[in-house]
Amino acid sequence: MSQPIIQFGEEFELDLRAFELRRSGRPLRLERIPMEILILLVENRPGLVSREEIAARIWGKDVFVDTDNSINGAIRKIRRVLRDDPDNPRFIGTVTGKGYRFIAPVEGAPPRELPQAAHSGETPRGSTRRPGLMLGGLLLILAAGLAAGYVGWSRGPAGTPPAERRIMLAVLPFDNLTGDPGQDYFSDGLTEEMIGRLGNLAPRQLGVIARTSAMRYKQAGATLDALGRDLKVQYVLEGSVRRDGGRLRITAQLIEVEGQTHLWARQYDREPAGILAIQSEIAQAIADEIQLTFGEARMLPVQAAALSPRAVEAYDHYLKGRHYLNKRTREGFEQAIVEFQRAIARDPVDGRAHAGLADAYALLGTYGYAPQAEVMPRAREAALAALAIDERLAAAHTALALINEFHDRDWAAAEARFRRAQELDPNYVTAHHWYAELLGFQGRFEEALAAIDRARLLDPLSLIIATDRGAILHFARRHDEAIELFRMVLDLEPTFARAHLIVLAYAQQGAFEPALQEVRAWQEIEAGPWPLALAAHVLGQAGRQAEARQALASLEASLHRHKGDDPLPLRAMAYLGMGLHEEAMACLQQSCAESPASLVALKVDPLYDPLRDDPRFADLLGCAGLSP
């Protein structure tokens, strides 16, 4: 039997009873898996410990995890703590392709052989990770973390608890291992579905990072340390999907970020008709323990029944629809409509497909790709159909709120719908994001910033959410803070059009040269009318009227070529910078008659400050449904 304290390398002590490594009496930070491997190597010195033996000791048998990368990472951490050079090692020697051995003399522990069970691939006695107990270990960890936060929440106000007290989970993009890029829609759709299902488990105790941020890690090769830092999550769910003929193979594993510990893993081999059951089983494995700790947590029933062939086809079209919708392009919206309609034709009672169709029509209108009078009634019809099937669909309420805001100009109804969506699903990031925009348009800036920060917690890498936070700060005349956010977005993605609001923020400060530099940078990327409108505006404000008139002429020519952009707001922007207030007012009045949705920011946008004393401005606000 090993002694409780093992000494090596003069200054190091390995305390088995305290599970602690010390240097000259000072405890060193070493996570659980690296510590387990170090103990295994020391106890079996000077013999070789194979990678298979390490995997069996740490994770047990029949666990589908990426043990190679996990072992490599753990060895690196051991060497870093021991200050051991892998090219000239004092402590950990590598036998390439085989395993590792502890090569330093030790005091206090005679060498011993590995248990036979480890050699045979079975889980050795005393292992910290036995397959039969893996799920229990995961659930106890989640329950303990959730219970620690629940006491604090129960004393606070009703509603979503403070963000920093929720356990946060990221669902990474499921890897498409089919070898067919055309199947990306399926793995991406499965990722999005898992985000939705896990987000509905216990939304006031468990936050789930939204799709936009999760998808930025698709094939990115980011380390868990970086992922935890960027997304501020404690747990990560990752997996893969294969489609081999008529069969599906899906793997999923849950990892604790801090210790890079694989807590739970499963592999599923099913017919396509079982896909919804697989999603539910993964979610249920986590939900079970949440239910033990929180009696109020809403459970997700496991849908064990097989789907009909038409329902399987419908689900496939639904996933394709979500895939195209998330492209946020005209072509993507149009193809999403086709796929959602196909899903509905095959399964008319799938509320999610109706809600997706509502989103596609509504966004087609708000992005200016189709007349709102044409697409918004179709969006409303689809959203109401979704709610008739399931009144609790947050996405359907959110789509209706957008219609209320942009098409009906009924701000009170829109706010009520957004609040209802947030109540139904506090993890549905779009409800928080679009609600923040609504509050910002009304001048309720502190509420708007609080709402957009809830969205950023759930989707921390979203460029549009960061940009819209900058827009709210710009509307609130906090231009320095807005410029900082816009700058961050443009550094990450120079083609991100909305972040070029930085031009107007610079112009409000009289910083015309930086504003024109941003315009020129945008013109190098895009030859459309927006950079030209901004150029005319800034040049006019800078007193360079001849150049401004040239930019205005170029804008008119560009508008003639680009029929997809609403010309009235762009002309108004140029006219306002050039001091042509009557011409700008005429454009806005025409917008009121033809496209009032373009006036949603009228109340707060500094762009319109030169017109606010005009008695006609109040009529424009009324056209947009806004109070003076």
Kindly report the three-state secondary structure assignment for every residue of 264-328. EEEEEEECHHHHHHHHHHHHHHHHHHHHHHCCCCCCCCCCCCCCCHHHHHHHHHHHHHHHHHCCC
Q: Is pLDDT above 70 for 405? A: yes
Q: CA–CA separation, 522 vs 544, rounded Å? A: 20
Q: CA–CA separation, 401 vs 361, rounded Å? A: 13
Q: CA–CA separation, 429 vs 30, rounded Å? A: 36
Please state at what angle helix 567-577 crosses helix 545-561, rounded to 10 degrees: 180
- Could you give the angle at the alpha carbon of 542 between the alpha carbons of 537 and 546, nearest 5°? 75
Of 386, 314, 334, 376, the residue nearest 356 (C-alpha): 386
Q: CA–CA separation, 499 vs 552, rounded Å? A: 22
More confident residue, 72 or 378: 378
Q: Which residue has the tokens 């592999």?
A: 267
Q: CA–CA separation, 162 vs 467, rounded Å? A: 23
Range 226-247 average pLDDT:
81
Q: Is pLDDT above 80 for 506? A: yes
Contact 435, 451 (CB under 8 A): yes
Q: Which residue has the tokens 């449904």?
A: 625
Q: Which of 30-34, 65-69, 189-193, 408-412 has the lowest mean pLDDT?
A: 65-69
Range 417-430 average pLDDT:
93
More confident residue, 517 or 300: 517
pLDDT (tens digit per residue) in 472-497: 999 999 999 999 999 999 988 888 87
- Band (pLDDT 50/70/90 cuts) for residue 563 is low
- Band (pLDDT 50/70/90 cuts) for residue 315 is confident
More confident residue, 222 or 170: 170
Q: Is pLDDT above 50 for 44? A: yes
Q: Which of the listed ranges 220-229, 235-244, 332-341, 361-370 does the model predict with the highest average pLDDT?
A: 332-341
pLDDT of residue 277: 65
Range 122-136 average pLDDT:
30
| Pairing mode, strands 247-256 and 235-244 | antiparallel
Contact 300, 284 (CB under 8 A): yes
Q: Which of the listed ranges 220-234, 274-288, 472-486, 565-579 does the model predict with the highest average pLDDT?
A: 472-486
Single-letter residue type at 67: T
Of all residues in the chain, the percent with pLDDT exceeding 90 is 40
- Band (pLDDT 50/70/90 cuts) for residue 584 is very high
Q: Which of 70-79, 369-378, 430-439, 606-615 has the lowest mean pLDDT?
A: 70-79
Q: Which of 270-279, 389-398, 440-449 has the lowest mean pLDDT?
A: 270-279
More confident residue, 175 or 378: 378
- Band (pLDDT 50/70/90 cuts) for residue 185 is confident
Q: Is pLDDT above 60 for 119? A: no
Alpha-carbon torsion 540, 544, 547, 549, what sign? positive
72 dihedral zone (left: phi>0; alpha: psi -120 to 50; beta): alpha
pLDDT of residue 605: 97
Alpha-carbon torsion 318, 324, 327, 330, what sign? negative
Q: Which of 63-77, 525-539, 578-592 has the lowest mean pLDDT?
A: 63-77
Which H or E run contains 551?
Answer: helix 545-561
Q: Is pLDDT above 90 for 498? A: no
Q: What is the dihedral of CA 150, 156, 157, 163, to 10 degrees?
A: -60
pLDDT of residue 154: 30
Contact 72, 123 (CB under 8 A): no
Range 133-150 average pLDDT:
32
pLDDT of residue 63: 46
Q: CA–CA separation, 416 vs 431, rounded Å? A: 11
Q: Is pLDDT above 60 for 609? A: yes
Single-letter residue type at 175: D
DSSP 557-595: HHHHH-TTS-HHHHHHHHHHHTT-HHHHHHHHHHHHHH-
Q: Is pLDDT above 80 for 60? A: no
**Counting every residue, how long is the chain?**
628
Token pair for residue 27? 């405890």
- Band (pLDDT 50/70/90 cuts) for residue 302 is very low
Q: CA–CA separation, 459 vs 215, rounded Å? A: 10
- Band (pLDDT 50/70/90 cuts) for residue 356 is very high
- Compute CA distances 486 → 46, 441, 479, 496, 504, whole Å: 58, 18, 10, 10, 11
Single-letter residue type at 429: V
pLDDT of residue 221: 62
More confident residue, 115 or 176: 176
pLDDT of residue 72: 79
Taking residue 623's Cβ as centre, other Cβ atoms within 10 Å add up to: 17
In the predicted model, what is the mean pLDDT of the chain?
80
pLDDT of residue 340: 95
pTM, two decimal places = 0.65
Strand 92-95's sheet: what is its strand order? 49-50, 99-102, 92-95
Q: CA–CA separation, 109 vs 93, rounded Å? A: 19
pLDDT of residue 327: 77
